[in-house]
Amino acid sequence: MSSLAVLHASELVTLSGPKRPRFGAELSEVGIVRDGGMLVRDGKIQKVGSSDEIKKNLGDAEIVDARGRVVMPGFVDAHTHLVFAGDRLDDFERRARGETYEQISKAGGGIWSTVEKTRAASESDLLAQAKRHANWFLRCGTTTVEAKSGYGLTVEDELKILRVLRQLKKEVPLEIVPTFLGAHAVPRGLSPDEYLDVVVMEMLPRVTAENLAEFCDVFCERGYFDIDQSRKILSAAKKLGLSLRGHVDQLTNSGGAKLMAEIGATTADHLEQTDGQRIAALKKANVQPVLLPGSVYALGSSGYPRAREMIEAGLAVVLATDFNPGSSPTPSMPMVLSLACTQMKMSPAEAITASTLNAAYSLNRGDKIGSLEPGKLANFVMFDCEDYRELAYWFGIPQTHSVYVTGQRIVEL
Ligand SMILES: [Zn+2]
């Protein structure tokens, strides 16, 4: 039995409460214990309370002095594209010079350039780059990520990405939840309907037979997969036992959020263009919105999703990075907290709940992670600040002091 006692945290942010996602005003209740302590045994949280209470039962526990620091659950990033080859630095510079997406695409940029590099990369090259990304997440205080395929767009290349994720999970302490996103874009040389057949008839059966994904996602947007095509893909995935997520209403209010509600998806992601009527549909169907302000920021746009309206409508809002080389090159959840507060008018407490507990529920892991409560995994982070609001306030400066996964301190930060 190995045990650990965290003592004297200036704030222990527990997120304790009912065993379900937080809605509306509940998003503000982060369950702070001042001079807080926590007892960890065999990777799990055994007791949480004041340091005085924790000290009563120390036994042979190793002491971790958290004086002057905030201790909170590791961030749960519920939307990332973690595996890809190369970067999109040239696109970035072209965009900065004012070029449009069409111009960038003509110059050989855009998603297609990442697809070509990812196809050309070997499994071990992709794994090496993915490890680098995984380490970035840990350094930012994230201990669980959802990660999608989607830069392969052939049967073998999509499977390759998902296998890299499976291997990555074995080699890094970051917990990874894999999502199949074969329908990320239509590959050159095929019509959307032809490619849809490949996704449904060839990719999905292989992905589920090899048990390579927990979720299926689709890029539902004009020029990618329309509502009917998205419905076909997600229905097929559901029949095979996968849970559902969707990239919807990012560029146009095309009815994607409504489809997510109809089909019983776990999450509807992006939602930059979603209006009040569709917000009500998400509420009725209990779909969690996953908001991605990093991509709005990095694309130089100001069209952030209506977080306040969603919280007021009673949705269990989630925040995520959308880490990807094209539109959101950040693994930093603190950066996302800053954007949520300054651009979407969420409070720091709401943003913390959305990026920990609510995110954990959106990955079907609300019973294991996302809060510091007895019985949950001891996945937690110590930050070099005394007030949790500082995480959203000081931006562009790393405040991570140390990261623990199942009670083990991650050393290679
Ligand atoms: Zn995405």
CA–centroid distance, 394 to ligand 1, in Å, is: 26
CA–centroid distance, 216 to ligand 1, in Å, is: 12
CA–centroid distance, 80 to ligand 1, in Å, is: 6
CA–centroid distance, 81 to ligand 1, in Å, is: 6
Over its length of 413 residues, how does the chain's per-residue pLDDT go in tens digits? 689 999 999 999 999 999 999 999 999 999 999 999 999 999 999 999 999 999 998 999 999 999 999 999 999 999 999 999 999 999 999 999 999 888 888 888 899 999 999 999 999 999 999 999 999 999 999 999 999 999 999 999 999 999 999 999 999 999 999 999 999 999 999 999 999 999 999 999 999 999 999 999 999 998 899 999 999 999 999 999 999 999 999 888 888 999 999 999 999 999 999 888 899 999 999 999 999 999 999 999 999 999 999 999 999 999 999 999 999 999 999 999 999 999 999 999 999 999 999 999 999 999 999 999 999 999 999 999 999 999 999 999 999 999 999 999 997 67
Q: Supply the pTM of this predicted model.
A: 0.97
Cβ atoms of 395 and 335 within 8 Å: the answer is yes
CA–centroid distance, 367 to ligand 1, in Å, is: 25
CA–centroid distance, 292 to ligand 1, in Å, is: 8
CA–centroid distance, 368 to ligand 1, in Å, is: 25
CA–centroid distance, 124 to ligand 1, in Å, is: 24
CA–centroid distance, 257 to ligand 1, in Å, is: 15
CA–centroid distance, 158 to ligand 1, in Å, is: 16
> Which residues, 6+ apart, have CB-to-CB distance to 151 below 8 Å?
81, 83, 84, 85, 111, 114, 115, 118, 157, 161, 184
Rounded to whole angstroms, the Cα distance separating 194 from 295 reads: 30
Separation in Å, CA 9 to CA 28, 32, 238:
20, 10, 44
Cβ atoms of 149 and 161 within 8 Å: the answer is yes
Closest CA to 185 of 255, 126, 279, 118: 118
CA–centroid distance, 342 to ligand 1, in Å, is: 22
Strand, helix or coil at 215? strand
Q: How many Å separate Cα 301 from the centre of its chain?
A: 21
CA–centroid distance, 382 to ligand 1, in Å, is: 28
Cβ burial 322-334 (10 Å sphere, 16+ → b, else e):
bbbbbbbbbbbbb
CA–centroid distance, 291 to ligand 1, in Å, is: 10
CA–centroid distance, 138 to ligand 1, in Å, is: 20
CA–centroid distance, 147 to ligand 1, in Å, is: 9
